[in-house]
């Protein structure tokens, strides 16, 4: 499977502009998991901007939305 970076960038909600991993989802996920956090796409836009991408914050988001996708 080939990575479609341009299509991925269109869906990427990361607001960290100098990010070298935009559109490279596998690199992004690996980077964030190594830091014990999740990538921007796991969070709604208003919370993504806080850059708190911790697992705990994700659980708060999911619980607050009744378990529905953020």
pTM, two decimals, is 0.80
**Does position 1 have pLDDT exceeding 90, yes or no?**
no
How many Å is the Cα radius of gyration of the chain?
12
Sign, CA torsion 63/65/66/70: negative
Residue 50 to residue 68: CA distance in whole angstroms: 21
The pLDDT tens digits for 11-21 are: 999 999 999 99
Q: What are the residues whose beta carbons fall under 8 Å from the beta carbon of 44, sequence distance 6 or more?
A: 61, 70
């Amino acid at each position: 499977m080939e990575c479609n970076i341009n299509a991925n960038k269109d869906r990427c909600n990361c607001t960290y502009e100098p990010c070298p991993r935009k559109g490279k989802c596998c690199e992004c996920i690996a980077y964030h998991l190594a830091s014990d956090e999740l990538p921007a796409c796991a969070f709604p836009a208003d919370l993504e901007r806080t850059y708190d991408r911790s697992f705990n914050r994700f659980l708060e988001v999911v619980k607050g939305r009744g378990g529905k996708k953020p």
